[in-house]
Amino acid sequence: MKEGLTIVVPVKAGVPNITAVRFDPVTHNIVREGVPLMLNPYDRNALEFALRLKDKYGGKVITLSMAPPSGKDFLESTVGMGADEAYLITDRVFAGADTLATSYTVARTIQKLFPNFDLIVFGEETTDSTTAHMPAQVASWLELPYVYYAVDAEVDVKNGMIRVTRYLEDEGVYEVYEYKLPVIISVYKNSNPPRDISLNRKIQARLSGLVKSVTNNELKLDTFCVGLRGSPTIVAKLEEAKPIERKKQIFKGSPEEAAKWLLENLVKEGVIKA
């Protein structure tokens, strides 16, 4: 019988919003090389979710990320938070991937490196791309059930069953799903406040080489399925987002007059019924 859970947490190195981003003039893709990368904040909620399951049921938590070689650094911080091992998928052939090609690379890597995984736990989305595509796309490649917006889970390790509670914010509803493992989960971004990153563990990760790099020499993925060539979508054009023109009408006067003036305008705009 197997002991504990093998949980894989794919994470992303995001480009911080405050960074002046550069775009490739030909592909319009963001240039990630040489840019300081940070761990996508919602992936920390996902890692926390995974670590809590490990604390409760035993096993191990493995993080992995597809990123340029500089991604090793932020993967060390996932070990600092409590992951047992971390893998950096890094190869020039993976560059320029859209979500289909990225999910392919991540899904096939997990199958090759951790064929006996029980759970794949994602963050809800990334703050720099905000697509939330990855969990469903990886589920499609692996033909597994999946559930988004998870806030909690209970596992019956003996029978290999999981009960996932998820929260649908726009409907104000909790739903509980029961599946046989393995499954794919994405974690609701406002849940599972992450524990601190231990600097000691992070340094230990570096000294003992806990972050391993994997290239396509080992993975042997069809190069037409990855990177730019494996990406059906193209960024045809990028433009500066034009801020919405505002009326900027400012009222100064007595509270009575101000309230009346506001109401009149809001009725005129049709946002309050006449």
For other proteins, the closer of residues 30 and 84 by Cβ is 30
Site stretch for other proteins (CB under 8 A), options 5-13, 74-82, 178-186, 196-204: 178-186
Per rule CB under 8 A, is residue 233 in the interface with other proteins? Answer: yes
Among 58, 92, 212, 235, binds other proteins (CB under 8 A): 235
The first and second tokens of residue 149, run together, are: 């917006």
Q: Which of residues 1-20 bind other proteins (CB under 8 A)?
A: 15, 17
The contact mask relative to other proteins for 156-175 (x = CB under 8 A, - = no) is -----x-x---xxxxxxxxx
- Minimum CB separation of residue 139 from other proteins in Å reads 6
Among 31, 95, 136, 151, binds other proteins (CB under 8 A): 136
- Nearest partner of 60 among 18, 115, 15, 118, judged by Cα: 118
Among 145, 151, 154, 219, binds other proteins (CB under 8 A): 145
Tokens 């190869």 -> residue? 91
- Nearest partner of 211 among 82, 88, 39, judged by Cα: 88
- Minimum CB separation of residue 146 from other proteins in Å reads 6
The contact mask relative to other proteins for 252-271 (x = CB under 8 A, - = no) is xx-xx-xxxxxx-xx--x-x
Per rule CB under 8 A, is residue 148 in the interface with other proteins? Answer: yes
* Alpha carbon distance 44, 96 (integer Å): 25
13 vs 65, 75, 104, 139, 221, CA distance in Å?
8, 9, 18, 21, 22
Angle, CA 142 vertex, CA 140 and CA 120 arms, to 5°: 100
Burial annotation 109-141 (CB, 10 A radius, 16+ → b, else e): bbeebbeebbbbbbbbbbbbbeebbbbebbbeb
Per rule CB under 8 A, is residue 104 in the interface with other proteins? Answer: yes
Among 139, 153, 197, 211, binds other proteins (CB under 8 A): 139
Q: Which of residues 21-50 bind other proteins (CB under 8 A)?
A: 21, 28, 30
* Alpha carbon distance 46, 78 (integer Å): 11
Per rule CB under 8 A, is residue 196 in the interface with other proteins? Answer: no
Do strands 146-156 and 13-14 pair parallel, antiparallel, or not at all (unpaired)?
unpaired
Per rule CB under 8 A, is residue 144 in the interface with other proteins? Answer: yes
Per rule CB under 8 A, is residue 215 in the interface with other proteins? Answer: no
* Alpha carbon distance 61, 81 (integer Å): 11
